[in-house]
Amino acid sequence: MTLKKVLIKIAFLAAIAPLDVFAEVTFKARLFSRQKNQGEAKTQVLLFETKKIYRTDAEGYFDAVVPSPGIYTFRILKVEDMQDIKGNVDASGQTVILYTDAGSDSSVASPKAKVPKGTITVAAERDKPILSRTTIKYEEIKRMPGTFGEPLRALETIPGVVPSAAFGGGANNYVIRGSDPNSNLYLVDDLPILYPFHFDGLSAVVNANLIKSIDVYTGVFPANFNNALGGVIHIDTVDKVDKSQKNLIISAWSSSISYMSPTFGGKGYLIASARVGYLDRFVQGLTSALGADFPEGLRLPRFVDSQVKFVHNFNEHHQVSFHSFYSKDDFAANLPAKYQNDPANDSTAAFAGASISSGQGFRTQALRYTWKPIDTFSNRVTLISYDPFTDFNVAFGSIQGKNRASGAYNGVRQDAFWDPNKYFSAEFGSEYRLLNYYSTGSSIIQTDPNNLSPNPYDTQSPDFTTIPTNITAKGAYYNGYLTTKIRLGNLHIEPGARYDYIPYVNNSAFGPRAQASYKFEGIGKGTTIFAGGGNFFRFPLDTRFNKDSGNPHLDFEKVFKYGGGIEQLLEGDYQIKGEIFKQEYTDLIVDDPYITDPIGTNPDPYSRIAQPFIVNKRLNYSNSGTGWSRGYELVLRKNSRPGTRNWFGWITYTWSQTFRNNNIFTPDPGSAPLNAQETQIAAEFYKNSKETLYDYDRTHVINMVFGWRWSQEWQFGARWSYLTSRPFTPIVGDDGGRFSNPANGQTYWVPQYANNPALGEYINSRRLKPYHRLDIRFDRFFNYEWGYINTFLEIVNVYLRENVGGEDFDNTKPYSKTNPSPSPTFGTIPLPGGVIIPFFNIGIEVKF
């Protein structure tokens, strides 16, 4: 290029450059919410065409520049989502109002998102009962302190729900109003899962980003749910995906990834997630970094899980969906046999030489078809394949065996919803299951299951026996249900009934139930009174009812639940609710060392050839258990409002009592031993066991929750919890150290438990100091046009409360003033030198 041409080009550019500057339009814009009647303060806005990011002031205003007049796209950067709003910029000095409320009729606001043509709207919310039900919003619980980012962990803060073990970490199930934690029903999209949390007690089996909402039924629940004596926890996953999203979360002990995307032009969607846990590596690495010793041969729990959901709408009448949920947990210990271990330096000395591995998991798959011929009726058919399993392999003194068991079934279920008018609606359905329960390997049976201190090293009269098992239980299962809803103005009545039948044991159960509520207008947003009750049943998903090592005569366990209360809704999203309840349990399945059949099949497959039948065959289990729980619950709540940055929170208080009685013969302390015939007669006619506090009873439970998102960049949360400690049976002595661990010669001291009501020392007669702790969490968000990055710090047990969960007996030492000692619970980290710091979790979340 010649010098002349260069000079001409420079002159040309110099001439037109002022024209570009002159064409720029400087204007003011405001984000405004009509619903809140205020500007959106401290919000980041990306002007899409110029790629410049602005931030609104306290009134929602910001100044911006565009190259020329025209229609521009303003992208509102939110934590959970992004919103695009079209704005028309005409001239400099103009103020452009951008309405953030969907569906605004303003010419500058984005139109309301419409449902794609051909979508079948079967996911609309149906009327739900108010009695004993709490709905948790995902926005309120995703980042609650002390939950480690797990929405399911937040259920600990609602009335009537407490973790089965240490509060928070280590608890992998829930006690709901005093019921056995294994008697709850857990559902995801109305499909069964075996357990809600992994072995580590920190991680849920459902990815947090897939959860839309959670309904918790702590008392009376609708007839479409079955096989639960405790509560029902129903998780609804995301039911609408407008755009592709990717989410990656990395924390100290697990990592997960999730993906969501619309499919076939918006006629359906796909969501999928996977997660892996590595608590063993985190704890061992942390222990090493702190200069402490980690027990040799111990591997802490690991897990994997995955969830897949695919939905396709052919048109507004037909929808199909596929669901797949999978989870697997395991842990192992292979403790070295070191002769003459020093118990002061080896915490596993009493169990040296033991080899233990255990696992659990489930696989749930379903294909679902929904037909909606008219707006007032829909019918859903679901093909289900459910395979829960547990396994173990144990070699520990006289405890020897390995086993794998499953309560699998394949089934077809039908659910119909009919809503002809505003006065009446009905839900009805039926189900058929083909059961395929099995247990293979060997069964370890405690000779006296009611002995609180069995000795694994007793060689004279072993407390455990092992029998080989190859048990199958195949058969059918049927059920049907009907729930009607009658609405007469402010009066709502919901009568219903359910019938279940298992031909394998020739056993059936019929459970009527009903609820009613009435709303009074005039005070705040309304006052509602409600009440209800009904019979509920459960049959175990295992092989306790098999004819070889179980009792084929077992009945359904039963509970009669009833209660009522009042709810007051106030202006400003405040809610006050109070409820009283009682639950009466009968036919509970308990370990029974005395129940027998006069003659039965020999459970040992090897000796069965020579002796196919035996006299007084042990059945091991009976329906002798009874119990009851009662209490009241109070809630004061400030609900969150989607799209706002106002604070929210709640305070809950529960008072309750829970008792159980196995109703079996218990020898009186100090009485002369009975021979076999005398014992059998006493067990039949002298069921003298006492009604005692249940293992999971907690009289007082208080929870306080606070959350505040004060800007687009920062969020803070706090939670304080208080629980009466669980009752325990006091240790009053030891067995004298009569036996030793043969692997290292270590004397094994077996604790002796109190069992004398006359002295006030008996089963579950004591409690330790109450449990309470404060947790906080800070979230920092970095917003970008493609999504956001969230870094967080979670501190558990801020004021270092030394909480205890019960008594811990050291089997390497005899009973003394210092043995047993209170056992510490989850919540602190001891450092070398006696320094203690709070338990903490740090992590990063990336959303694309």
CA-to-CA distance for 207 and 308, rounded, in angstroms? 11
pLDDT for 7: 34
- CATH code for the domain in which residue 204 is found: 2.170.130.10
Domain around 745: 254-847
Angstrom CA distances, 163 to 160, 175, 548, 656, stand at 10, 6, 34, 15
Q: What is the dihedral of CA 14, 15, 16, 22, to 10 degrees?
A: 100
Tokens 């709207």 locate to: 121
**Is the link from the previous residue into 605 a cis peptide, with omega within 30 of 0?**
no
* Residue 699 placed within a domain: yes
For the beta carbon of residue 430, count every other beta carbon within 10 angstroms: 15
| DSSP state at residue 210 | G
* Residue 376 placed within a domain: yes
Number of domains in the chain: 3
Tell me, yes or no, whether 228 and 302 share the same domain: no
Domain end position, chosen among 174, 209, 242: 242
Tell me, yes or no, whether 479 and 412 share the same domain: yes
Tokens 């349990």 locate to: 585
Tell me, yes or no, whether 74 and 197 share the same domain: no
Burial (CB < 10 A; 0-12, 13-18, 19+), residue 456, is: buried
The answer to whether the beta carbons of residues 621 and 544 sit under 8 Å apart is yes
- CATH code for the domain in which residue 84 is found: 2.60.40.10
Tokens standing for residue 635: 């809630």
**Nearest to residue 189, comparing CAs of 173, 172, 211?**
211
Judged by phi (left if over 0) then psi (alpha if -120 to 50, else beta), residue 736 lies in left
**Nearest to residue 771, comparing CAs of 790, 746, 740, 797?**
797
* Residue 726 placed within a domain: yes
pLDDT for 816: 92
Tell me, yes or no, whether 683 and 726 share the same domain: yes
* Residue 16 placed within a domain: no
Please list the residues that pair with 475 across neighbouring strands.
435
Tell me, yes or no, whether 41 and 160 share the same domain: no
CA-to-CA distance for 599 and 372, rounded, in angstroms? 56
Tokens 């399911």 locate to: 152
**Strand, coil or helix: 758:** helix
Domain end position, chosen among 218, 242, 266: 242
CA-to-CA distance for 783 and 847, rounded, in angstroms? 10
**Strand, coil or helix: 773:** strand
Please list the residues that pair with 371 across neighbouring strands.
318, 379
pLDDT for 825: 80
The type of residue at 657 is Q
Tell me, yes or no, whether 224 and 260 share the same domain: no
Residue ranges for the chain with pLDDT beneath 70: 1-23, 35, 79-81, 102-128, 130, 137-140, 166-171, 290-292, 339-346, 548, 604-606, 640-645, 669-670, 672, 674-678, 682, 757-759, 848
* Residue 311 placed within a domain: yes
* Residue 191 placed within a domain: yes
| C-alpha of 140 from chain center | 16
- CATH code for the domain in which residue 560 is found: 2.40.170.20
Q: 175: which residues sit within 8 A by CB, 6+ positions away?
A: 161, 162, 163, 164, 181, 230, 696, 698
Tell me, yes or no, whether 156 and 74 share the same domain: no
Tell me, yes or no, whether 504 and 558 share the same domain: yes
Tell me, yes or no, whether 541 and 668 share the same domain: yes
CA-to-CA distance for 566 and 827, rounded, in angstroms? 36
Tell me, yes or no, whether 316 and 177 share the same domain: no
Tell me, yes or no, whether 667 and 768 share the same domain: yes
| DSSP state at residue 461 | S
CA-to-CA distance for 511 and 50, rounded, in angstroms? 65
CA-to-CA distance for 108 and 86, rounded, in angstroms? 5
* Residue 19 placed within a domain: no
* Residue 3 placed within a domain: no
The answer to whether the beta carbons of residues 484 and 420 sit under 8 Å apart is no
Tell me, yes or no, whether 92 and 165 share the same domain: no
Domain end position, chosen among 194, 213, 242: 242
CA-to-CA distance for 273 and 265, rounded, in angstroms? 22
Please report the beta strands in 377-506, taking only residues with DSSP state E, as ranges in sequence order.
377-396, 399-418, 424-446, 464-488, 491-502
pLDDT for 563: 94
